């Protein structure tokens, strides 16, 4: 019998959870193609190494943008490649799959995600909203009558939701997440220092110096790029507080979206959220001080989940197992 599989089809990374095995794949959502031959050269980690370093005839493509498919053929090629890797590891063919998506996707985008999963080798394909599966993956009991609130900060979108009795009561999805923070850093460096840096460098700066709160004695790192005036290579020194300043406005948009969700729910559910706090998942949860900043701004306890990067894929797999075992139909 084929196993059930949960897929976090993320803008930055694809994670796959297999029933009984846990997370078996975690690779960047990148495809490298030869434009002259119209041929896929590399997928995932191998393709990511080419980002910003390719000759004219090779393009490194991110087939997902803002949490949804922007290039259907490339998404299908990427998923097919990852599924073939799973088959090589002994996972049975045509498994039941649950894929996740932001809460604000259109019906067309919804169908595109399901079709891509089916064409890549999936049997029955389910689609569920990211904050719901992230909450399950973080260990929250979303089926109880007590409200749970989750903020899932991914690569393309931040999804905020309050859940009760197994469904989303109120939610908001904004296209402000890891990719936007990378762009903020690159723009800040260009504006303040006249230096152009690539996408991978900006991400490295975020990982090493990213903080949501100003710090005393900030850590520093050297950053290399191209001088916008001379066109020559140049090195500058950045510190944590510069990076905080670069990202501040975007992080504030996540706060505003969370405020809006909290303002729309029933008073009883608000009381539950105050009691239980908010769980933070996704790659954005790894940003230093983000839990403290959100807690200070929202007036509610905020906790980072145990394995924020795995929550969506793990939750998708667990929710699909729950559906198949209880033989219930999704609405």
Binding site residue list for ATP: 11-13, 155-157, 203-206, 283-286
Distance in angstroms (rounded) separating the CA atoms of residues 224 and 201:
8
Q: Which residue has the tokens 């507080």?
A: 241
Distance in angstroms (rounded) separating the CA atoms of residues 64 and 117:
14
Give yes or no for a contact between 51 and 30, defined as CB atoms under 8 angstroms apart: yes
* ∠ CA 90-93-98, rounded to 5°: 105
Q: Which residue has the tokens 């996740």?
A: 100
Residue 212: how many CB atoms within 10 A of its CB? 23
Give yes or no for a contact between 39 and 33, defined as CB atoms under 8 angstroms apart: yes
Distance in angstroms (rounded) separating the CA atoms of residues 252 and 267:
24
Q: Which residue has the tokens 């089916």?
A: 118
Q: Tokens for 60, please give them.
A: 């490194």
* H-run or E-run covering 114: helix 107-119
Distance in angstroms (rounded) separating the CA atoms of residues 41 and 31:
8
Q: Which residues carry a binding-site annotation?
A: 11-13, 155-157, 203-206, 283-286
Q: Which residue has the tokens 């924020």?
A: 308
Contacts of 145 (CB under 8 A, 6+ apart): 164, 165
Query: If we measure between CA atoms, which residue out of 114, 176, 159 comes closest to residue 282?
Result: 159
First-to-final CA distance of the chain: 25
């Amino acid at each position: 019998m084929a196993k059930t599989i949960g897929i976090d089809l993320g803008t930055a990374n694809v994670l796959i959870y297999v029933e009984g095995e846990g997370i078996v794949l975690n690779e960047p959502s990148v495809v490298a193609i030869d434009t002259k031959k119209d041929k896929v050269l590399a997928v995932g980690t191998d393709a990511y190494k080419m980002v910003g370093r390719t000759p004219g005839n090779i393009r490194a493509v991110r087939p997902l943008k803002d949490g949804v498919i922007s290039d259907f053929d490339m998404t299908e090629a990427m998923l097919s490649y990852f599924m073939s890797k799973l088959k090589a590891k002994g996972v049975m063919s045509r498994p039941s799959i649950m894929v996740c998506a932001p809460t604000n996707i259109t019906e067309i985008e919804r169908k595109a995600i399901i079709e891509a999963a089916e064409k890549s080798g999936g049997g029955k394909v389910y689609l569920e909203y990211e904050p719901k599966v992230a909450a399950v993956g973080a260990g929250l009991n979303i089926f109880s009558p007590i409200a749970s609130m989750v903020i899932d900060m991914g690569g393309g979108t931040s999804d905020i939701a309050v859940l009760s009795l197994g469904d989303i009561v109120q939610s908001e999805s904004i296209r402000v997440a890891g990719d936007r923070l990378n762009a903020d850093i690159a723009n800040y460096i260009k504006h303040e220092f006249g230096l152009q840096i690539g996408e991978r460098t900006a991400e490295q700066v975020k990982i090493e110096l990213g903080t949501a709160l100003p710090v005393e004695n900030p850590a520093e790192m050297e950053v290399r790029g191209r001088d916008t005036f001379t066109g020559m290579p140049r090195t500058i020194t950045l510190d944590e507080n510069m990076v905080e300043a670069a990202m501040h406005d975007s992080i504030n948009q996540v706060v505003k979206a969370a405020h809006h969700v909290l303002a729309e729910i029933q008073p009883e559910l608000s009381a539950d959220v105050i009691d239980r706090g908010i769980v933070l998942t996704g790659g954005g949860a790894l940003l230093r001080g983000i839990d403290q900043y959100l807690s200070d701004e929202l007036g509610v306890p905020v906790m980072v989940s145990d394995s924020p990067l795995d929550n969506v894929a793990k939750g998708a797999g667990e929710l699909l197992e729950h559906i198949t075992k209880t033989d219930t139909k999704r609405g």
